[in-house]
Amino acid sequence: MLIAFVIYAAFAAFVHELLVGIAAMHSGWFPAFAVALITMIIGILIGFPPIALGLLVGFSAATGPAFADMGNDLKAGYILRGFGRDVTFELDGRRQQLFAAMLAFVIAIPIVWLAHAAYFAQGLVPPVDRVYVAAIKAGASADVAWKLVVWAIPGALIQWLGGPKRQLGVLLSTGLLIPNPLAGWAVLAGIALRAIALRMKGDAATGPMEVLAAGFIGGDALYGFFDSVLKAKPPVAR
């Protein structure tokens, strides 16, 4: 069973990278949680124990976004360097981006080790983690498998109707997992503003909207970071 777990985890991580990376390249959306859930469900049906399933879903969910992020970073560098017209410059730029990514990994590992206890003590976990726990507790049963098959059909149809660039199935499932309805209204407001701007100014509005979106993302990230730091409390020793 241990050998089967190692082989399956490696295979799941590889497939997860490809699926999430392709979706991110098409649309910018990362279906990391959805694909990790599928790999976990298969692990449940195989018969892996709960602790192994927790390790499996964490390992699988960590590989896809990292791969997709790296792809987005490389594509941004490719655009900035002139779409590969200077091959030597392009290869050197990719090498520097790789060095920067590896340095970020070295910095991130001790930061996560130091900060995770304070985050967990405050219950700061994404909603999808509760979905993973519920699925693992339900275990391998015909009822769970049947429900997955039934709801996979409309999800696949929605994804197919929207096409790879829209990722509608992924967005729908993400919306079902987010407990705050304001997030959905914010997305709808953004889509409405984009539609109005494109109708009024055409393609000329694309550049200013991208700058505006970058500002919103930067501001949100700064607020989230400092808000978490100020509210963070050390875990209580027991």
Is pLDDT above 80 for 230?
no
Q: Quick one: tokens of 156? A: 């696949």
Distance CA 177, CA 129 (A): 10
Q: Quick one: tokens of 178? A: 């987010």
- Chain segment 102-121, per-residue pLDDT in tens: 998 899 899 989 888 887 88
Q: Which range marks the domain in which residue 92 is found?
A: 2-179
**Tokens 């999808």 sit at which residue?**
128
Lowest-pLDDT range, 35-49, 162-176, 202-216? 162-176
User: How many CB atoms within 10 Å of residue 98?
Assistant: 13
In this prediction, residue 7 carries a pLDDT of: 94
CB 170 within 8 A of CB 34: yes
CB 10 within 8 A of CB 56: no
Distance CA 166, CA 144 (A): 28
In this prediction, residue 229 carries a pLDDT of: 67
Q: Higher-confidence residue: 4 or 138?
A: 4
Distance CA 168, CA 161 (A): 8
Confidence of residue 124 (pLDDT cuts 50, 70, 90): confident
26 in a structural domain: yes
218 in a structural domain: no
Is pLDDT above 80 for 10?
yes
In this prediction, residue 140 carries a pLDDT of: 62
CB 155 within 8 A of CB 11: no
- Mean pLDDT of all residues belonging to the chain: 83
104 in a structural domain: yes
234 in a structural domain: no
- Chain segment 154-197, per-residue pLDDT in tens: 888 988 888 777 778 777 877 777 777 887 888 889 889 888 98
222 in a structural domain: no
191 in a structural domain: no
Give kind and range of the element (H or E) at residue 40. Answer: helix 32-46
Residue type, 203: D
Q: Structurally, how many domains does the chain consist of?
A: 1
Q: What is the mean pLDDT of residues 30-50?
A: 84
In this prediction, residue 79 carries a pLDDT of: 92
